[in-house]
Structure formats: C-alpha cells, structure tokens
C-alpha cells in the first residue's frame, strides 16, 4: 500500500475522479421537473433545446463521439441548465453534494491504499459551464485540502470542452482541466486554451488519439479523412495515433497528454514519443 511507504508515495502523482456527481444534480432537478405542470415542463424543454442549439455544442468538428452513449448526456445536462434560473435555489446548496464528494474521495483513498490524491477531478465529465458553478465543489475541496487529502482541484470534459475550460479559468479555483483535444476539434479550443494557460491553469489533453483510432467497435471504422488530416499535419513514419499525440504535444500550453493503454504495443509506441519535437505542417 502506498500509504505504508511515504517514500514510494512521493514518487507517484495520483488523480481520482468524482463520477456520478452531475447525475446526482440531475436527479435533484428531475424530481422538481416531474412535479411541475405539463405547460411548465414543455417550456423548460423548449428552453433547453434553444440553449443547446445556440451554444453549438454539437457542431460537427467541435463535437466528436468518443464512446457509445456520449451524446445522451446532453438532454439531462441542458435540463439542469434550463431549470437553474428558476429552481436552482431548491437544488444548489444541497448537503447531499458535499456528502457525495467526500464519500467518493474516501472510497478512492481506501481502494488505492493512500492517504491523499494529488488531483481531485470534480465533476468528472462536465457537459456545460454551469456544471462547474456548484459552490459545494470548491467549498468541499478546500475542506479536504486542509485535511491533507487532496492537493489540486480539476474537472474533466468531453462535451463542450472550450466552454468548460473558459468557465474553469473564470471561476479561478480550478487548477487543472482534462479535456478532449485533438486534430479535429483543436481549432475550436486553441483560443480558450491559450487564455486559460495564461491564467495558470494546467491543461491535460485527452481523447487525442481517439480522433484517428478507437477500440469501440460501434465507432469503427474511423473516417478516412481524419487519418488523412493527421498524416498531412504531422510528418514522419509514425502511425496515425502516434502522430495524433505528437500533434497535441507540440502545443506549449498543454501540460500533458493522456495515453491510450490498450495493450503492450500501444504502451511502448506511445512511450517512444516522450520528448519528441516535430515541425507541424500548416493545416
């Protein structure tokens, strides 16, 4: 166990995620929604559709499907957003949110066998900027940090990654954002990444190679034009997934890139990219 060997623990950087947090908030809003008259329900759903369309979160190129069922998160996400102005006072501030975060962390500490995590990701899988606007997240994190159980606060995002990143930078209490960033959606994120990095936010790129490779059979085959794009942008004899990583690693504002570890071959190939510098071709 890492906790039993402080010397070993200091050599490892550990992250844990608070999964299920946004689902808990959806449950609280849904309980209110289900008790409303039909006309108010329809008005809320209409507003949710409008917000979703206005923000362009499903615009091709900005939105990519990285795993089956990913797009299903938008309906509950925008139900939360549409209801918050009128019903947020009945949901936000719930003691259940703090309890959920604490129990999630305590469970992870016990399973891993350590006394602290370096990063606490909350929420895991934010779908909207509003998912970060929960006072219980920052307050609970500060309490846990004082107890020495966490060091930094982070958030992860597959959907609307630029919107989530901008909000994390605006709020100021987030230290890290782990977001979907790759050769396909990169143009939509570069400005937000530059601004967030300028405010000292650490940015971790994930789903970098998923733009050109996937182990999800339901999402295969990957469109040929994506492969051609990464081949055009990154010179050399590397495989498309390796080129995708190299592309992201050349961005000076990206602190780290999450590597796919599907098998030993992928591990060795991806490790070989560490420290590599390439001259990217113009898009």
pLDDT tier at 211 (50, 70, 90 boundaries)?
very high
The answer to whether residue 204 scores a pLDDT higher than 60 is yes
Q: What is the pLDDT of residue 3?
A: 52
Domains of the chain by range and CATH?
2-207 (3.20.20)
Q: What is the pLDDT of residue 261?
A: 80
Instruction: Determine the Cα–Cα distance for residues 64 and 44; give it in Å rounded to an integer.
Output: 26
Q: pLDDT (tens digit, 9 = 90+) per residue, 50-100?
A: 999 999 999 999 999 999 999 999 999 999 999 999 999 999 999 999 999
Q: What is the mean pLDDT of the chain?
A: 95
Q: Look up tokens 């999800």; give the residue.
A: 216
pLDDT tier at 283 (50, 70, 90 boundaries)?
confident
- Percent of the chain exceeding pLDDT 90 equals 90
> Which of 139, 127, 226 minimizes the C-alpha distance to 179?
127
The answer to whether residue 1 scores a pLDDT higher than 70 is no
Q: How many CA atoms lie within 13 A of 176 on its CB side?
A: 22
> Which of 162, 166, 158 minimizes the C-alpha distance to 188?
162
Q: What is the pLDDT of residue 152?
A: 98
- The answer to whether 14 and 117 have CB atoms below 8 angstroms apart is yes
Q: What is the pLDDT of residue 212?
A: 96
From the DSSP assignment, how many helices (H) and strands (E) are in the chain? 11, 6
Residues in the chain: 283
The answer to whether residue 4 scores a pLDDT higher than 70 is no
Mean pLDDT, rounded, for 184-194: 97
Q: What is the pLDDT of residue 62?
A: 98
- The answer to whether 152 and 14 have CB atoms below 8 angstroms apart is no
- Percent of the chain exceeding pLDDT 70 equals 98
The answer to whether residue 2 scores a pLDDT higher than 60 is no
Of the candidate ranges 132-146, 171-185, 248-262, the one whose mean pLDDT is the lowest:
248-262
Strands (E), 207-249: none
Its pTM stands at 0.94
pLDDT tier at 8 (50, 70, 90 boundaries)?
confident
The answer to whether residue 113 scores a pLDDT higher than 90 is yes
Q: What is the pLDDT of residue 6?
A: 64
- The answer to whether 115 and 65 have CB atoms below 8 angstroms apart is no
pLDDT tier at 9 (50, 70, 90 boundaries)?
confident
């Amino acid at each position: 166990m890492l906790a039993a060997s402080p010397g070993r623990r200091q050599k490892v950087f550990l992250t844990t995620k608070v999964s299920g947090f946004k689902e808990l908030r959806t449950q609280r809003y849904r309980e209110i929604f289900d008790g409303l008259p039909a006309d108010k329900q329809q008005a809320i759903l209409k507003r949710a559709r409008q917000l979703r369309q206005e923000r362009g979160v499903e615009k091709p190129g900005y939105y990519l499907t990285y795993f089956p069922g990913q797009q299903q998160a938008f309906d509950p996400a925008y139900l939360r957003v549409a209801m918050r102005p009128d019903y947020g006072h009945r949901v936000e501030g719930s003691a259940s949110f703090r309890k959920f975060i604490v129990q999630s962390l305590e469970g992870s500490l016990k399973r891993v066998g350590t006394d602290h995590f370096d990063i606490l990701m909350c929420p895991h899988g934010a779908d909207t900027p509003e998912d970060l606007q929960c006072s219980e997240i920052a307050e609970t994190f500060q309490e846990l940090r004082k107890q020495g159980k966490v060091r930094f606060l982070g958030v992860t995002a597959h959907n609307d990654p630029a919107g989530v990143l901008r909000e994390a930078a605006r709020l100021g209490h987030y230290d890290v954002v782990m977001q979907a960033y790759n050769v396909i959606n990169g143009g939509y994120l570069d400005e937000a990444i530059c601004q967030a990095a300028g405010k000292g936010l650490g940015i971790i790129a994930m789903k970098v190679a998923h733009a050109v490779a996937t182990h999800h059979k339901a999402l295969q085959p990957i469109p040929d034009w994506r492969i051609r794009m990464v081949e055009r942008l990154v010179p050399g004899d590397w495989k498309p997934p390796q080129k995708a990583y190299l592309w992201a690693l050349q961005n000076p504002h990206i602190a780290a890139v999450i590597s796919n570890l599907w098998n030993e071959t992928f591990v060795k190939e991806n490790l070989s990219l560490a420290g590599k510098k390439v001259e990217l071709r113009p898009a």
